[in-house]
Structure 1
Amino acid sequence: MLKNTLPAALAAAAVAALTLVPAGPASAATIEIRPGQVSTLKQSNSKFMCPTNEVLIGRGHRGDENGDTTFSCGRIYIDGVQVTVLRLDIWGTTTDENNHDYHTPANEAITGIRHDGDENGDTIYYSGALFWQGKAVQITPRQLEGWVRENNHASMAGTNQVMTGRRHTGDENGWTQYEYGWISYSG
Protein backbone atom coordinates (compact mmCIF):
# COMPACT_ATOMS: atom_id res chain seq x y z
CA MET A 1 0.00 0.00 0.00
CA LEU A 2 2.84 2.40 0.81
CA LYS A 3 4.28 1.72 -2.63
CA ASN A 4 1.15 3.11 -4.39
CA THR A 5 0.68 6.19 -2.17
CA LEU A 6 4.27 7.42 -2.42
CA PRO A 7 4.12 8.27 -6.15
CA ALA A 8 0.74 9.96 -5.63
CA ALA A 9 2.14 11.97 -2.69
CA LEU A 10 5.20 13.00 -4.73
CA ALA A 11 3.01 14.04 -7.64
CA ALA A 12 0.79 16.11 -5.34
CA ALA A 13 3.87 17.75 -3.77
CA ALA A 14 5.29 18.54 -7.22
CA VAL A 15 2.02 20.14 -8.35
CA ALA A 16 1.88 22.18 -5.13
CA ALA A 17 5.48 23.33 -5.62
CA LEU A 18 4.74 24.42 -9.16
CA THR A 19 1.83 26.53 -8.05
CA LEU A 20 3.94 28.22 -5.37
CA VAL A 21 6.78 29.23 -7.71
CA PRO A 22 6.38 32.91 -8.50
CA ALA A 23 5.97 33.77 -12.14
CA GLY A 24 8.94 35.41 -13.82
CA PRO A 25 8.84 39.10 -14.62
CA ALA A 26 6.53 40.13 -17.44
CA SER A 27 8.37 40.92 -20.61
CA ALA A 28 9.31 44.58 -20.83
CA ALA A 29 7.38 46.75 -23.25
CA THR A 30 9.18 47.59 -26.48
CA ILE A 31 9.49 51.36 -26.81
CA GLU A 32 10.36 53.03 -30.10
CA ILE A 33 10.45 56.67 -31.14
CA ARG A 34 10.07 57.12 -34.89
CA PRO A 35 11.00 60.35 -36.69
CA GLY A 36 8.08 62.66 -37.33
CA GLN A 37 7.73 66.13 -38.80
CA VAL A 38 10.82 68.31 -39.24
CA SER A 39 10.27 72.02 -39.90
CA THR A 40 12.57 75.01 -40.26
CA LEU A 41 11.23 78.49 -39.50
CA LYS A 42 12.60 81.98 -39.00
CA GLN A 43 12.82 82.32 -35.18
CA SER A 44 11.33 85.79 -34.72
CA ASN A 45 7.54 85.75 -34.46
CA SER A 46 7.29 82.02 -35.07
CA LYS A 47 4.96 79.35 -33.75
CA PHE A 48 5.71 75.68 -34.18
CA MET A 49 3.47 72.84 -33.03
CA CYS A 50 4.22 69.16 -33.55
CA PRO A 51 1.44 67.35 -35.43
CA THR A 52 -1.18 65.37 -33.50
CA ASN A 53 0.37 62.62 -31.32
CA GLU A 54 3.95 63.83 -31.88
CA VAL A 55 6.34 65.48 -29.39
CA LEU A 56 9.55 67.46 -29.74
CA ILE A 57 12.71 65.36 -29.89
CA GLY A 58 15.15 67.97 -31.21
CA ARG A 59 15.83 71.63 -31.91
CA GLY A 60 18.59 73.54 -33.66
CA HIS A 61 19.25 77.19 -34.45
CA ARG A 62 21.57 79.14 -36.77
CA GLY A 63 22.15 82.89 -36.66
CA ASP A 64 20.38 85.65 -34.74
CA GLU A 65 16.65 86.03 -34.02
CA ASN A 66 16.06 86.27 -37.78
CA GLY A 67 17.97 83.06 -38.36
CA ASP A 68 16.50 79.62 -38.89
CA THR A 69 15.27 77.32 -36.13
CA THR A 70 14.72 73.65 -36.95
CA PHE A 71 12.24 71.62 -34.91
CA SER A 72 12.19 67.80 -34.99
CA CYS A 73 9.18 65.84 -33.76
CA GLY A 74 8.80 62.15 -33.07
CA ARG A 75 6.04 59.56 -32.71
CA ILE A 76 6.24 57.21 -29.72
CA TYR A 77 5.25 53.54 -30.06
CA ILE A 78 4.92 50.94 -27.32
CA ASP A 79 4.71 47.35 -28.51
CA GLY A 80 3.98 48.68 -32.01
CA VAL A 81 0.97 50.80 -30.94
CA GLN A 82 1.29 54.60 -31.15
CA VAL A 83 1.13 56.64 -27.95
CA THR A 84 -1.56 59.33 -27.73
CA VAL A 85 -0.43 62.86 -26.81
CA LEU A 86 -3.00 64.89 -24.89
CA ARG A 87 -2.19 68.60 -25.12
CA LEU A 88 -3.19 69.92 -21.72
CA ASP A 89 -1.40 73.26 -21.85
CA ILE A 90 -3.43 75.00 -24.58
CA TRP A 91 -2.36 78.52 -23.54
CA GLY A 92 1.29 77.62 -23.08
CA THR A 93 3.78 78.72 -20.47
CA THR A 94 5.34 82.12 -21.17
CA THR A 95 9.02 82.80 -20.43
CA ASP A 96 11.51 85.59 -21.21
CA GLU A 97 13.67 84.27 -24.06
CA ASN A 98 16.84 85.95 -22.82
CA ASN A 99 16.74 84.34 -19.36
CA HIS A 100 14.56 81.33 -18.70
CA ASP A 101 14.54 77.81 -17.30
CA TYR A 102 11.47 75.90 -18.52
CA HIS A 103 10.60 72.30 -17.61
CA THR A 104 7.35 70.50 -18.44
CA PRO A 105 5.19 69.15 -15.62
CA ALA A 106 5.90 65.53 -14.61
CA ASN A 107 5.32 62.97 -17.38
CA GLU A 108 4.72 65.60 -20.07
CA ALA A 109 6.79 66.37 -23.16
CA ILE A 110 7.17 69.60 -25.15
CA THR A 111 4.73 69.65 -28.09
CA GLY A 112 5.40 73.15 -29.44
CA ILE A 113 7.32 76.40 -29.06
CA ARG A 114 6.26 79.93 -29.97
CA HIS A 115 8.56 82.96 -30.01
CA ASP A 116 7.43 86.58 -30.16
CA GLY A 117 9.81 89.35 -31.23
CA ASP A 118 13.60 89.44 -30.94
CA GLU A 119 15.91 88.05 -28.24
CA ASN A 120 14.08 90.18 -25.66
CA GLY A 121 10.69 88.77 -26.62
CA ASP A 122 8.69 85.98 -25.04
CA THR A 123 9.05 82.27 -25.67
CA ILE A 124 5.97 80.16 -25.00
CA TYR A 125 6.18 76.41 -24.47
CA TYR A 126 3.35 73.92 -24.99
CA SER A 127 3.31 70.46 -23.45
CA GLY A 128 1.29 67.28 -23.53
CA ALA A 129 0.77 64.15 -21.44
CA LEU A 130 1.35 60.72 -22.95
CA PHE A 131 -1.06 57.78 -22.86
CA TRP A 132 -0.85 54.26 -24.24
CA GLN A 133 -4.06 52.27 -24.47
CA GLY A 134 -5.63 54.60 -21.91
CA LYS A 135 -2.82 54.32 -19.34
CA ALA A 136 -0.30 57.04 -18.47
CA VAL A 137 3.21 56.80 -19.86
CA GLN A 138 6.08 57.93 -17.64
CA ILE A 139 8.98 60.17 -18.62
CA THR A 140 11.72 59.39 -16.15
CA PRO A 141 14.47 60.08 -15.41
CA ARG A 142 15.21 63.47 -16.92
CA GLN A 143 18.67 64.72 -17.75
CA LEU A 144 20.10 68.10 -18.72
CA GLU A 145 22.52 68.09 -21.65
CA GLY A 146 25.58 70.37 -21.77
CA TRP A 147 25.35 74.05 -22.66
CA VAL A 148 25.59 75.00 -26.37
CA ARG A 149 25.80 78.36 -28.16
CA GLU A 150 22.31 79.35 -29.29
CA ASN A 151 23.50 80.86 -32.60
CA ASN A 152 25.02 77.67 -34.02
CA HIS A 153 23.77 74.38 -32.64
CA ALA A 154 21.60 71.33 -33.12
CA SER A 155 20.41 69.06 -30.32
CA MET A 156 18.63 65.73 -30.67
CA ALA A 157 17.17 63.38 -28.07
CA GLY A 158 18.86 60.05 -27.46
CA THR A 159 17.27 56.63 -27.80
CA ASN A 160 13.76 56.55 -26.26
CA GLN A 161 14.04 60.18 -25.11
CA VAL A 162 11.81 63.22 -25.63
CA MET A 163 12.37 66.93 -24.92
CA THR A 164 11.09 68.00 -21.51
CA GLY A 165 12.84 71.33 -20.94
CA ARG A 166 15.06 74.14 -22.18
CA ARG A 167 17.17 76.81 -20.50
CA HIS A 168 18.52 79.90 -22.21
CA THR A 169 20.57 82.89 -21.10
CA GLY A 170 21.45 85.96 -23.14
CA ASP A 171 20.73 86.85 -26.75
CA GLU A 172 21.42 84.76 -29.85
CA ASN A 173 25.08 84.59 -28.77
CA GLY A 174 24.04 83.27 -25.36
CA TRP A 175 23.83 79.72 -24.09
CA THR A 176 21.12 77.08 -24.41
CA GLN A 177 20.70 73.82 -22.53
CA TYR A 178 18.14 71.06 -23.20
CA GLU A 179 16.49 68.58 -20.88
CA TYR A 180 15.48 65.17 -22.21
CA GLY A 181 13.55 62.42 -20.44
CA TRP A 182 13.36 58.69 -21.09
CA ILE A 183 10.02 57.13 -22.02
CA SER A 184 9.06 54.25 -19.73
CA TYR A 185 5.94 52.19 -19.29
CA SER A 186 5.18 49.94 -16.37
CA GLY A 187 1.62 48.95 -17.25
Structure 2
Amino acid sequence: MLKKSLTAALAASAVAALTLVPAGPAAAAAIEIRPGQVSTLKQSNSKFICPTNEVLIGRGHRGDENGDTTFHCGRIYIDNVQVTVLKLDIWGTVTDENNHNYHSPANEAITGIRHDGDENGDTIYYSGALYWQGKPVQITPRQTDVWVRENNHASLAGTNQVMTGRRHTGDENGWTQYEYGWISYSG
Protein backbone atom coordinates (compact mmCIF):
# COMPACT_ATOMS: atom_id res chain seq x y z
CA MET A 1 0.00 0.00 0.00
CA LEU A 2 2.88 2.35 0.73
CA LYS A 3 4.27 1.69 -2.76
CA LYS A 4 0.96 2.68 -4.42
CA SER A 5 0.68 5.84 -2.30
CA LEU A 6 4.27 6.83 -3.09
CA THR A 7 3.74 6.30 -6.84
CA ALA A 8 0.52 8.31 -6.77
CA ALA A 9 2.22 11.10 -4.79
CA LEU A 10 5.12 11.27 -7.27
CA ALA A 11 2.71 11.37 -10.22
CA ALA A 12 0.73 14.17 -8.55
CA SER A 13 3.95 16.12 -7.90
CA ALA A 14 5.02 15.72 -11.52
CA VAL A 15 1.68 16.99 -12.80
CA ALA A 16 1.78 19.90 -10.35
CA ALA A 17 5.29 20.81 -11.49
CA LEU A 18 4.15 20.87 -15.11
CA THR A 19 1.25 23.14 -14.34
CA LEU A 20 3.42 25.52 -12.31
CA VAL A 21 5.65 26.29 -15.29
CA PRO A 22 3.34 27.31 -18.13
CA ALA A 23 4.78 27.48 -21.62
CA GLY A 24 5.25 31.05 -22.78
CA PRO A 25 4.24 32.25 -26.23
CA ALA A 26 6.72 31.54 -29.00
CA ALA A 27 8.78 34.58 -29.87
CA ALA A 28 7.89 36.06 -33.24
CA ALA A 29 10.65 35.90 -35.82
CA ALA A 30 12.36 39.23 -36.48
CA ILE A 31 12.00 39.97 -40.21
CA GLU A 32 14.06 42.62 -41.98
CA ILE A 33 14.53 43.48 -45.65
CA ARG A 34 17.82 45.21 -46.35
CA PRO A 35 18.52 47.15 -49.53
CA GLY A 36 20.40 45.22 -52.18
CA GLN A 37 21.50 45.96 -55.71
CA VAL A 38 20.01 48.93 -57.56
CA SER A 39 20.47 49.02 -61.34
CA THR A 40 19.25 51.36 -64.08
CA LEU A 41 19.14 50.29 -67.73
CA LYS A 42 17.33 51.03 -70.96
CA GLN A 43 13.87 49.40 -71.08
CA SER A 44 13.98 48.05 -74.64
CA ASN A 45 15.74 44.70 -75.03
CA SER A 46 16.77 44.59 -71.38
CA LYS A 47 17.15 41.78 -68.89
CA PHE A 48 17.61 42.36 -65.19
CA ILE A 49 18.00 39.59 -62.61
CA CYS A 50 18.59 40.31 -58.92
CA PRO A 51 21.85 38.89 -57.52
CA THR A 52 21.88 35.59 -55.64
CA ASN A 53 19.46 35.55 -52.66
CA GLU A 54 17.90 38.92 -53.55
CA VAL A 55 14.37 39.70 -54.79
CA LEU A 56 12.72 42.76 -56.34
CA ILE A 57 11.40 45.31 -53.88
CA GLY A 58 10.87 48.15 -56.34
CA ARG A 59 10.85 49.38 -59.91
CA GLY A 60 10.66 52.75 -61.62
CA HIS A 61 10.61 53.99 -65.22
CA ARG A 62 11.13 57.30 -67.03
CA GLY A 63 10.31 57.99 -70.68
CA ASP A 64 9.31 55.65 -73.50
CA GLU A 65 10.61 52.14 -74.28
CA ASN A 66 14.08 53.66 -74.77
CA GLY A 67 13.90 55.37 -71.39
CA ASP A 68 15.53 54.20 -68.18
CA THR A 69 14.11 51.54 -65.88
CA THR A 70 15.47 51.29 -62.34
CA PHE A 71 15.27 48.02 -60.41
CA HIS A 72 15.63 47.76 -56.63
CA CYS A 73 16.53 44.43 -55.06
CA GLY A 74 16.48 43.49 -51.39
CA ARG A 75 17.90 40.82 -49.10
CA ILE A 76 15.52 39.22 -46.61
CA TYR A 77 16.71 38.36 -43.11
CA ILE A 78 14.89 36.41 -40.42
CA ASP A 79 16.42 36.58 -36.95
CA ASN A 80 19.48 38.15 -38.61
CA VAL A 81 20.07 35.13 -40.90
CA GLN A 82 19.67 35.69 -44.65
CA VAL A 83 16.84 33.94 -46.50
CA THR A 84 17.80 31.75 -49.47
CA VAL A 85 16.06 32.47 -52.79
CA LEU A 86 15.64 29.36 -54.92
CA LYS A 87 15.31 30.39 -58.58
CA LEU A 88 13.74 27.39 -60.32
CA ASP A 89 11.94 29.52 -62.92
CA ILE A 90 14.86 29.76 -65.36
CA TRP A 91 12.67 30.28 -68.47
CA GLY A 92 10.36 32.85 -66.93
CA THR A 93 6.72 33.62 -67.62
CA VAL A 94 6.08 35.47 -70.91
CA THR A 95 3.48 38.25 -71.07
CA ASP A 96 2.52 40.95 -73.59
CA GLU A 97 3.92 44.22 -72.24
CA ASN A 98 0.99 46.34 -73.46
CA ASN A 99 -1.69 44.28 -71.69
CA HIS A 100 -0.77 41.91 -68.89
CA ASN A 101 -1.45 41.02 -65.27
CA TYR A 102 1.37 38.90 -63.81
CA HIS A 103 1.34 37.35 -60.33
CA SER A 104 4.19 35.18 -59.07
CA PRO A 105 3.26 31.71 -57.79
CA ALA A 106 2.26 31.37 -54.12
CA ASN A 107 5.11 32.16 -51.71
CA GLU A 108 7.41 33.29 -54.53
CA ALA A 109 8.79 36.77 -55.17
CA ILE A 110 9.81 38.35 -58.46
CA THR A 111 13.57 38.00 -58.97
CA GLY A 112 13.95 39.56 -62.40
CA ILE A 113 12.28 41.12 -65.44
CA ARG A 114 13.23 40.94 -69.11
CA HIS A 115 11.72 43.09 -71.85
CA ASP A 116 12.05 42.49 -75.59
CA GLY A 117 11.37 45.27 -78.12
CA ASP A 118 9.02 48.22 -77.72
CA GLU A 119 5.64 48.50 -75.99
CA ASN A 120 4.34 45.69 -78.22
CA GLY A 121 7.13 43.33 -77.21
CA ASP A 122 7.18 40.63 -74.55
CA THR A 123 7.90 41.08 -70.88
CA ILE A 124 9.20 38.02 -69.07
CA TYR A 125 9.04 37.65 -65.30
CA TYR A 126 11.29 35.42 -63.19
CA SER A 127 10.43 34.34 -59.66
CA GLY A 128 11.97 32.46 -56.78
CA ALA A 129 10.82 30.56 -53.68
CA LEU A 130 12.07 31.69 -50.28
CA TYR A 131 13.63 29.44 -47.62
CA TRP A 132 15.05 30.15 -44.20
CA GLN A 133 17.25 27.49 -42.69
CA GLY A 134 15.71 24.96 -45.08
CA LYS A 135 12.09 25.81 -44.22
CA PRO A 136 9.69 27.66 -46.56
CA VAL A 137 8.95 31.34 -45.99
CA GLN A 138 5.44 32.65 -46.66
CA ILE A 139 4.47 35.75 -48.60
CA THR A 140 1.03 36.69 -47.38
CA PRO A 141 -1.14 38.64 -47.72
CA ARG A 142 -0.59 40.31 -51.07
CA GLN A 143 -1.80 43.81 -51.82
CA THR A 144 -2.10 45.74 -55.06
CA ASP A 145 -0.64 49.25 -55.11
CA VAL A 146 -2.25 52.25 -56.85
CA TRP A 147 -2.12 52.75 -60.63
CA VAL A 148 0.77 54.94 -61.82
CA ARG A 149 1.76 56.28 -65.25
CA GLU A 150 4.43 53.99 -66.70
CA ASN A 151 6.44 56.85 -68.24
CA ASN A 152 7.17 58.67 -64.98
CA HIS A 153 7.01 56.64 -61.79
CA ALA A 154 8.90 54.89 -59.02
CA SER A 155 7.42 52.28 -56.70
CA LEU A 156 9.03 50.71 -53.62
CA ALA A 157 7.72 47.97 -51.35
CA GLY A 158 6.65 48.82 -47.83
CA THR A 159 8.19 47.44 -44.65
CA ASN A 160 8.78 43.67 -44.89
CA GLN A 161 7.25 43.52 -48.37
CA VAL A 162 8.55 42.12 -51.67
CA MET A 163 7.29 42.47 -55.24
CA THR A 164 4.94 39.63 -56.26
CA GLY A 165 3.17 41.04 -59.32
CA ARG A 166 2.84 43.74 -61.93
CA ARG A 167 -0.03 44.76 -64.16
CA HIS A 168 0.36 47.03 -67.19
CA THR A 169 -1.94 48.32 -69.90
CA GLY A 170 -1.06 50.44 -72.93
CA ASP A 171 2.26 51.85 -74.09
CA GLU A 172 4.71 53.98 -72.11
CA ASN A 173 1.88 56.44 -71.49
CA GLY A 174 -0.28 53.64 -70.11
CA TRP A 175 -0.83 52.55 -66.55
CA THR A 176 1.18 50.25 -64.28
CA GLN A 177 0.18 48.70 -60.98
CA TYR A 178 2.35 46.64 -58.61
CA GLU A 179 1.50 43.86 -56.20
CA TYR A 180 3.51 43.49 -53.00
CA GLY A 181 3.36 40.74 -50.40
CA TRP A 182 4.40 40.66 -46.75
CA ILE A 183 7.12 38.25 -45.63
CA SER A 184 6.04 36.01 -42.76
CA TYR A 185 7.56 32.99 -41.10
CA SER A 186 5.71 30.59 -38.85
CA GLY A 187 8.47 28.01 -38.33
TM-score using structure 1 length: 0.91
1:111 aligned partner:
111
Q: Structure 2: how far apart are the matches of 1:17 and 1:64?
A: 73
Aligned equivalent of 2:6? none
Paired-residue identity, %? 88
Quick one: distance in 2 between partners of 1:44 and 1:96? 14
1:124 aligns with 2:128: no
Note the C-alpha offset of 1:24: 1.8
Using the TM superposition, give the Cα deviation of residue 17 of structure 1 relative to its aligned residue in structure 2, in angstroms. Answer: 3.6
Q: Which runs of 5+ in 2 are unaligned?
A: 1-8
Q: Which runs of 5+ in 1 are unaligned?
A: 1-8
**Is it true that 1:16 corresponds to 2:15 in the alignment?**
yes
Q: 1:176 is paired with a residue of what secondary structure?
A: strand
Aligned to 2:78: 78
Q: Quick one: distance in 2 between partners of 1:163 and 1:115?
A: 17
Size of the alignment, in residue pairs?
178
- Quote the Cα distance in structure 2 between the aligned partners of 1:159 and 1:139: 13
Q: SS of the residue aligned with 1:19?
A: helix
The alpha-carbon deviation at position 88 of structure 1 amounts to: 1.2
Match of 2:139 in 1: 139
**Aligned residue type for 1:77:** Y
How far off is 1:131 after superposition? 0.3
| Structure 2: distance between partners of 1:78 and 1:141 | 18
Aligned amino acid, residue 147 of structure 2: W
- CA offset digits 1:157-177 (Å, max 9, x no partner): 000000000000000000000
Q: Deviations over 1:54-89 (max 9, x none)?
A: 000000000000000000000000001000000011
Question: By how many angstroms is 1:18 displaced?
Answer: 4.2
**Matched residue type, 1:124:** I
Name the CA distance, whole Å, in 2 between partners of 1:69 and 1:18: 63
Amino acid in the other structure paired with 2:97: E
What CA distance in whole angstroms lies between the structure 2 residues aligned with 1:13 and 1:158? 53
Question: In the aligned structure 1, how far is the partner of 2:150 from the partner of 2:74?
Answer: 22
Residue 14 of structure 1 deviates from its aligned partner by 7.3
Q: Per-residue deviation at 1:16?
A: 3.0
Could you tell me which amino acid in structure 2 is paired with residue 48 of structure 1?
F
Q: 1:4 maps to what in 2?
A: none
The correspondence of residues 160-175 of structure 1 with structure 2, limited to 5 A, is: 160-175=160-175
In angstroms, what is the RMSD of aligned CA positions? 1.5
Aligned match of 2:36: 36
Amino acid at match of 1:157: A
Query: Mean Cα displacement is larger for which, 23-32 or 105-114?
Result: 23-32
Q: Which amino acid aligns with 1:134?
A: G
Aligned partner letter, 2:32: E
Q: Aligned partner of 2:15: which letter?
A: A
TM-score by length of 2: 0.91
Residue 26 of structure 1 and its aligned partner are, at CA, apart by: 0.7
Amino acid at match of 1:36: G
